[in-house]
Amino acid sequence: MRFPGALPLAFLVLSACGLQAQTGSGAVTGPPARDVRDGRTGIRFHLPQGWTLARRDGEVSTFALDARSAPRTAQLRAVASINYNPFPQTNFGGAFFYASVVPRLDADGCARQASAMGSHPTTTRSVAGVVFTRGYDEHGGICIESRDDVYTAMHGNACYRFDLVINNFCGGDVSGTPEMSASQLEKVRQRLEEILDTVQLDPR
């Protein structure tokens, strides 16, 4: 399944209940909604119900595999993962929201992370009143198994980075599992964007 390219913001504003309605029972279960804050970096965001929070790499995902353009000096501060499958009859593999910081990096190096893994054009987007560079990375073996929307910006003396990741396994003729439609992928991406919309950054 090829992930759709960047779409206009108006198309991203989809109904959240459209995502929830695909859970089978019709209701999202799992961890309650909560506000998250990282005391060291001042990153704050809100997680909706049904998302698991981890503070360390390897608990729910592997940062280096999902955020391929992040330098080795990147410090993972939080990762949220969806705790239910919104489309259980498809090849959906998971969704992750990463917050990380790269200390002692200049503005050019910070911005380059958003396009380091390919020739995809970058755009900009305001997050918490700060202009972030936005790019994306797609990769996989015999199919596109991961899409990472990368947001980077300098804040104080560090590069702040957010990764919005959707993972799939190969569907269709490979596994016999129906592939996610473009609409289904966009609904998952929209939920990740909704988390990004809640981000606040303490002054630096």
State pTM to two decimals. 0.84
Give the angle subtended at the CA of 140 by the CAs of 23 and 101, to the nearest 5°: 80
Domains of the chain: 9-201 (3.40.1000.10)
Q: Return the pLDDT at 119.
A: 61
What the block records as the tokens of 48 is 């909706």
Average pLDDT over residues 69-76: 95
DSSP 67-136: -TTS-TT-EEEEEEEE-S-S-TTTTEEEEEEEEEEEES--HHHHHHGGGTTS-PPPEEEEETTEEEEEEE
* 94 has pLDDT over 80: yes
What is the average pLDDT across 32-47? 97
| Cα separation values, 51 from 48, 61, 143, Å | 6, 13, 27
Contact indicator for 191, 95 with CB cutoff of 8 Å: yes
- pLDDT tens for 109-149 read 999 999 887 767 899 999 999 999 999 998 887 787 899 99
